[in-house]
A and B are shown apart, each in its own frame.
Chain A
C-alpha cells in the first residue's frame, strides 16, 4: 500500500483550494481548553495550521452527519431535500470512525435508508488523524479500539517530526484526492513509515498502561456484558445520581435516537429529526400510558444494553468507542468505566 507524505503548509493550501471550489471544511479548533468542530473558511485553514488537537474533539463527529435538529420533511408539497454541500472533515479520530460504522448501520441499512444521512456521508471526504495524546477519560483500547485509525477513512494523517504528515489512503475517493493534488504529496520513505509505527506503538502502549492502571476493566471482553446482569445492583445505585439531562446521549458518538418534531411555520409545517435521550422518563412511553422503562435504573440499563449487547447482536460491533465523552459530560458524575467495573467485578 502506498503511503505519502505531505507538508502541513502544503496540505493546508490543498484544503484551502478545495474550500475555494465550494467544499465546506470542518476542523477541530481550540476554543478555550477544548477542541471543537468548526466550519473553517478557506482563508483561515493556514492560520489554524492543522493542529487537530491531541485526540478527539469535544463533540462527536456524528453532529456533522446527523445534526441535533435536521429537517427531514415538509407537510405536503415540495419535500425537504438533502444538503447538497460537498464537505471535507479533517481530524476525525479512530473512535469517531468506529462510531460512524454504528451510525451507518442504523441509517443506511435495512429496508429504509435515511437519505439525509446518506447524502451527508456521500458528500463528505473524511480525513482522520492519529491521536498523539489521549485524554484521561479515553479508553478505546479496552473496547476493541486503537488510538489510530485503521479503516473507515478516505485519508488518514499521522504527524511526523519536522512539520509534515504521513498520509494513508483508505478509499478510492482518498486515492483520487491524492492524485488530484499530487504536487503536494510525496511517496513516503521506509524511515517515515517506521517513524509512524513507532509513534503509534508508543501512544497505544501508554494508553493501555494508563487504562490498566485505572483498574476499570477486568479483561473479559465487554460484548453482551449486560446479559444476565439485568438485575445487578449497579443500575439502581448509579442511576441515583442521574439528573436525566441527556448529556451522555448527546455527546455519545454512537447514540442515534431522535424523535420527529413537527413545527408549524408561516409557510407550512416542517418536520425535523431531533436528538432524543433514552434517559428522559417518557422515552419509551406509549400514548396509553404504559412505560417499559418508567424507572431510571431501567433507563440506565437500557443505555448499556444498547451499547454492549444490542449492537453486538445486530451488527457484530460494540457501540462504545471508549471516547470518554459521557464521562466528561455527566452532571451526575456517572462514570461509564466505573459502572462496567462494578458490573464485571
Chain B
C-alpha cells in the first residue's frame, strides 16, 4: 500500500463512522409519481466511486442507505434517487429545497470498472434500481474510450415510471451506447417494447462469453434477470448484483445485512452472482 493510501486508510479508521455530516437539499427533481431525485450538498465533500453507497438520515427520524445516481466526478454534491417506500423515504418525499439531512459515506465497494475495461458491458435495470446504474453510466461515459460497447436494458411498470428520461436523448447520441427500454404494460403513446425487462434480452445483441452484466432492480427482477442471463450463457462471476439488504451501520458492525460470510455493507453492496449463489434467501 502506498503511504498516501495508508494515510487515507488511517484517517478513515480514526474517524467516527457513525457521525452524520450535515447536507443541504439543493434541488428536488420529480422523476415519477413516487420517485424523486434529491441533489445534496454536504458540508464536507464525500469522495465516492460509482456503486458505493451513502446513508442518508432525516435528523431525529432515521437513516437509510442509497447509492448515488449522479456523476462521481462531482465531488461537491451528489444525487440520490429515492422511491417512497418506508418511514424515512416517506419523510424525504415531503421535504423542500433547503432542508437539512445527515449523510455518511462513502460506504462499501463500488463497481469494478477495471474488470469492464475493453469489454462490451450489459447494464440491466428495473424501476428505481436504475439509480445506481445511472451513476455507473456517468462513470463509463467519463472515459468512454475504455468501454467500447455499453448495452443498457431498462424497464419499469409504465412509461410514467421510467426515471431519468431527460438523459435518454443525450445517451443515445453516444457511439457504442445502446439504450433499450421496456414497460410491463401497454400504454397510450408507447411504441417501445412491452414486457418485463428480461424480454429485452432476447432482442438485443449479447456477447455472453466476454460481456460482464451489471444488474440492479427490485428483488424479483434481480432473480429472474440473473436466471435469464445464466440461461443465455453469462458466467456467474461476470454477473454483478447490487444486493439490497438492511444495511444499517454501513461499516460491518451492526450485523443486519449478512449474506453467508459477508456483510453486504462492507463486502458489497456489489457482489458477483458467483459470490452469493451458495447462500440462502439472496433474492428476498
Contact = CB atoms under 8 A, between A and B. Distances in A.
Interface stretch (B9-17, B156-164, B179-187): B9-17
Given A73-B16, A114-B17, A273-B18, A259 B284 contact: no
A56 interface: no
B93 to A, nearest CB: 12
A110 B253 CA distance: 10
B79 interface: no
Given A262-B61, A288-B218, A288-B244, A110 B266 contact: yes
Given A285-B246, A292-B281, A258 B219 contact: no
A294 B284 contact: yes
B19 interface: yes
A73 B245 CA distance: 24
Nearest to B128: A288
Contacts of A269: 59-60
A260 interface: yes
Contact of B254 (A230, A264, A276, A287): A276
Q: Which of A263, A284, A313 has the most CB of B within 10 A?
A: A284
B247 to A, nearest CB: 9
B192 interface: no
A74 B17 CA distance: 12
Interface string B48-89: 000000000101111110000000000000000001011111
Contacts of B266: 110-112
Contact of A288 (B18, B85, B249, B251): B85
A274 to B, nearest CB: 10
Given A107-B253, A283-B246, A284-B246, A260 B85 contact: no
B144 interface: no
B20 A115 contact: no
Interface residues on A, range: 35 or more
A73 B20 contact: yes
Contact of B282 (A259, A289, A291, A292): A292
A106 B253 contact: yes
B203 interface: no
Contacts of B260: 310, 313
A98 B25 CA distance: 47
B255 interface: yes
B254 A72 contact: no
B212 interface: no
A262 B60 contact: yes
Interface string A307-325: 0011001100000000000
Contact of B16 (A72, A256, A260, A264): A72
B245 A258 contact: no
Contacts of A283: 246, 256
Contact of A292 (B13, B61, B284): B284
B13 A271 contact: no
Contacts of A106: 252-253
Nearest to A278: B255
Given A73-B20, A271-B18, A283-B256, A110 B251 contact: yes
Interface in B218-264: 218-219, 244-246, 248-249, 251-258, 260-261
A298 B279 CA distance: 13
B102 interface: yes
Contacts of B282: 292
Interface in A114-165: 114-115
B16 A115 contact: yes
A30 to B, nearest CB: 33
B166 interface: no
B205 interface: no
B22 A286 contact: no
Interface string B3-35: 000000100111011111010000000000000
A238 interface: no
Contact of B88 (A107, A256, A287): A287
A262 to B, nearest CB: 6
Contacts of B115: none
Interface of A: 72-73, 75-76, 79-80, 106-107, 110-115, 230, 256-260, 262-264, 269, 271, 273, 276, 278, 283-294, 298, 302, 306, 309-310, 313-314
6 contacts: A75-B59, A107-B253, A262-B63, A283-B246, A288-B83, A314-B261
